[in-house]
Amino acid sequence: DEVLHTIKRHENICNYIHLPAQSGNSRVLKLMNRTYTRDWYMGKVDKIRDILGESCGISSDMITGFCSETEEEHRDTLSLMDYVQYDFSYMFFYSERPGTLAEKKYEDDIPLEIKKRRLSEVIEKQAELSLSRNKLDVGKTQKVLIEGYSKRSEDFLQGRNSANKVVIFPKGNLQKGQYVQVKILDCTSATLKGEVVAID
């Protein structure tokens, strides 16, 4: 809580937290040697929302198809994603890494096609959540740090807001390293799009 209150007090700390979950099921988390449960994790998310509000960006790591994961346990991951409403996630299917506790103790018993199908469901869920979360920013004006040209066109610049979201806007006479106020006019699941209304 002290960290969250510190973030709230200081404008120069990003309003964004990467809170890896890996799975939404407590049994799987224990097998993964994680030191928390689903309920504990959800309690942390509740605190983030209580103290920092809905504008705080939250991202996660998710792994599908861990050893012995059932369909019901996979659905627990999807339901956790719905509960948290992640802004974005880093998503993978499980593969054995030599020397890890899982490789030594557990059989990698989930077929690859099931791992990939579960991963595609997690990716699809995250795309829906990312779009929903980005739509909340449309119409707002946000402080953005310019990082450089947009990946698609040198007529546009891109930067990040305090929630670590990519914002794209026309280049004008602006430069990398400047802070600008950008009014968000549109979005995709991956980016916010807008126009500069002031230079900080």
Distances (CA, A) of 121 to 24, 79, 109, 130: 14, 12, 19, 14
pLDDT per residue over 25-53, tens digit each?
Answer: 999 999 999 999 999 999 999 999 999 99
What's the rounded Cα separation, in Å, for the pair 149 and 155? 8
- 100 or 120: which leads in pLDDT: 120
- pLDDT band of 96, cuts 50, 70, 90: confident
pLDDT per residue over 8-27, tens digit each?
Answer: 999 999 999 999 999 999 99
* For residues 91-112, average pLDDT: 86
- pLDDT band of 105, cuts 50, 70, 90: confident
* For residues 112-117, average pLDDT: 98
pLDDT at 182: 98
pLDDT per residue over 54-71, tens digit each?
Answer: 999 999 999 999 999 999
Please report, for the chain, how many H helices and E strands are present, in that order. 6, 8
Tell me how crowded residue 104 is: count the other CB atoms within 10 A of its CB: 9
pLDDT at 98: 76
pLDDT at 104: 78
pLDDT per residue over 119-163, tens digit each?
Answer: 999 999 999 999 999 999 999 999 999 999 999 999 999 999 999
What's the rounded Cα separation, in Å, for the pair 65 and 74? 8
Looking at the predicted structure, is the pLDDT value of residue 86 above 90? yes
